Amino acid sequence: MLTALLLVLAVVILMDAVKLRLRAGALHRIEDDDPGESNATPTAIQWFVAPGVHVDESTRRAVARVMGHLRLDALDLVPGDLAPSAALRLLLAVDPGRYRLQRLAAGITAGHAMAVTESLLARLPAPPEPPTTPLAFAELAVQLKRHACTGTDLRLARTVHALTEDPRWRRPLLFALWGDVGTLLFAGELFLLLFPTIALVGGLFGLGSVLGGLAVLSAFHVQPLLALAGTRLQSLALPFYAGLRTVLDLRQWALAWLRPRPLPPRLGIAPIDALRPSYTAAFQGGTERYFEPRREVCWMCGGTHVGPHVRLSDHFQRKPGEFIVDRCETCGHLFQNPRLNEAGLELYYRDFYDGLGEETMERIFGAGEAPYAARARLGASIEEPRRWLDVGGGHGHFACVAREVLPATEFDGLDFGEAILTARRRGWIAEAYQGQFTQLAPQLVGRYDVVSMSHYLEHTRDPRKELDAAATVLPSGGYLVIEVPNPECPYARWLGRLWLPWFQPQHQHLLSAANLERLTGEAGFESVRFEFGDAHLPVDLGFAAYIVASRIAGPAEVPWRPRRGLVRRAWSKLVWSFAAVPVLLAFGADALLAPLLRQGRNSNAFRLLARRR
């Protein structure tokens, strides 16, 4: 059995090499797309070139012609002699054949040279400093892709020569791009590097399968050859790298772990220390003052049989406090009780969607386009709307993707944070409204055919008022699209306190399908269709494993917790080095089990399409 599993793993590694090879083949050269002098379209561009990299005038002219011909706003140049390890990481991160069309894809760069139009630079929040490090290039690439989501691309440049790779940038790059998720990915790399050797050594000592271990190790070393040999990314070092891949990659990982390059001030310890006094004062004396008095009756039906259903702490930010979700025995409604007051909401939301946590949350919301497209298709199933308002729109990820599904529809966004203004600046929405929906609704009457609330109602203090606001905005015959967590999902029972959508202290109401239909009916809507299976997000087991691992590892470096000493930092690194793989495997199990959870009403979320009477 073990031999068979290892052989399957070896086949998976080789299949992955085929995928990477296809991606390498999709990386066009500048010469392939150069329309020639006669067809050139002048494009005003600015160059960002890493120290030690030279881009000759012929290549610069070709880039300008290509950008004008293809209407590109930013073009990243990939050296033709990129090191094999760097080439593999690039192909793992991006599919050059699809990158330009992936509206929410993370900005990717080879870190050597990029050309940017003056018009795109003018849309950025501030003029970028010339990047001089791989980290600075990565951050610039992220900004450019977000502000030109379908106008950014990569091309191979044979005349641009690669710099010597410095593995010490590996951890800062992952952290800057992925936040806490980057820490998990970095730790998981060690297991991926060691496992093939461990499998073979275990077999030699009778603790496994020699044949299976040899197959996995061989596939691991052959993979670079299958992926890169004969492609435009093949370098002279490829045979040497393939033969010594385990040793070379482990050396790079060790250097990255032992001697990482420092993070820039905005990502390092400096902003955390600057915030410590305010958080110390905020939590001094306990958290009781941040809660309203406990309700003795159900918020939904007024029933008096209300009691604690689950007690939770803040699993993700790890801010102090205990939070109780009550359940009404009469109608089954689940709600935070006692609920946070306005000051409490401000305190617990702070540095989650903005500030320290903004970049991590942006990456999470941009991890996939499918959920956003599915929400747009639900609205498109009736007729193509003229104008659509997304309430709780955040950075505008939904509107960015929905524009592909409904190109004739104008999408606007509303939220109380600064993120909605960022969405407007990026061009992801046409108009931004900053403030509370219940207060702004009278100003928006008659402007929209559709209002959407995706994972918004569960955050609100009074869903009834939010639905009344939607009824105020929409005309008779207008449509409301709602997506919320499904508290009747089996995972809510199986995982208990570890179920992600409890999400305390932010989720104040968890509405069942029956209770949501009741509330929308009271607000003047009639239900058109419920969607369950298609709304399921396969993340429950993965996040449950992440919560357990983070509890064992201890809190990260945050301003509302004491600063970590050497022992605690070392313990955290050790825990994540071992926990990364179980967490990633748990996310894999989510994907495998997703078809089962999408049957019936078992999904962890559901959607409702309702029509204004």
Q: What is the mean pLDDT of residues 514-520?
A: 97
The residue segments making up the domain with residue 76 are 28-172
pLDDT at 174 over 90: no
> Does 559 fall in a domain?
no
Sequence-distant (≥ 6) Cβ neighbours of residue 211 within 8 angstroms: 3, 6, 7, 203
Residue 186 has pLDDT above 70, yes or no: yes
CA 568 to chain centre: 28
Does residue 19 sit within a domain?
Answer: no
Any idea which of 76-85, 155-164, 170-179, 603-612 has the lowest mean pLDDT?
Answer: 170-179
Q: Would you state the pLDDT for residue 42?
A: 57
239 lies in some domain: no
| Within-domain flag for 263 | no
How open is the CA angle 400-406-411, to the nearest 5 degrees? 50
Q: What is the pLDDT of residues 287-304, one digit of tens each?
A: 999 999 999 999 999 999
* 552 has a pLDDT exceeding 60: yes
What pLDDT does residue 125 have?
87
- Residue 404: inside a domain, yes or no? yes
Categorize the per-residue pLDDT at 188 as very low, low, confident or very high, splitting at 50, 70 and 90: confident
Q: What average pLDDT does the segment 195-210 reach?
A: 73
Strand order in the sheet with 334-336: 306-312, 323-328, 334-336, 509-510
Is residue 442 reached through a cis peptide bond, with omega within 30 degrees of 0 on the bond before it? no
Q: Give a yes or no: residue 516 inside a domain.
A: yes
Residue 367's CATH number: 3.40.50.150
pLDDT in tens, 322-349: 999 999 999 999 999 999 999 999 999 9
Query: For residues 268 and 45, what is the distance between their CA atoms, to the nearest angstrom?
Result: 32
114 near 77, Cβ under 8 Å? yes
**pLDDT for residue 31:** 86
How many domains are there within the chain?
A: 2
User: What confidence tier does 199 reach under pLDDT thresholds 50, 70, 90?
Assistant: confident
Last residue of a domain, one of 172, 197, 221: 172
Residue with tokens 């010469």: 31
Query: How does 399-413 read in b/e, with b if 16+ C-beta sit within 10 Å?
Result: bbbbbebbeebbbbb
DSSP secondary structure letters along 220-273? HHHHHHHHHTTSTT--TTHHHHHHTHHHHHHHHHHHHHHSPPPPPTTTSHHHHH
What are the residues whose beta carbons fall under 8 Å from the beta carbon of 187, sequence distance 6 or more?
Answer: 573, 576, 577, 579, 580
- Three-state DSSP class for residue 187: helix
Is residue 451, in this structure, part of any structural domain at all?
yes
Q: With CA atoms as reference, report the closest residue to 430 among 474, 384, 396.
A: 396
Boundary residue ending a domain (127, 157, 172): 172
Assigned domain for 593 exists: no
Task: Give the Cα separation of 441 and 459 in Å (integer).
Answer: 18
The predicted structure's pLDDT at residue 182: 73
**Alpha carbon 431 to chain centroid, angstroms:** 24
Residue 83 has pLDDT above 60, yes or no: yes
Helix (H) or strand (E) holding 283: helix 269-283
- Of 172, 192, 216, the residue at which a domain comes to its end is 172
**pLDDT (0 to 100) of residue 494:** 95
Compute the average pLDDT of residues 415-436. Answer: 94
Backbone CA torsion sign across 22, 223, 591, 536: negative
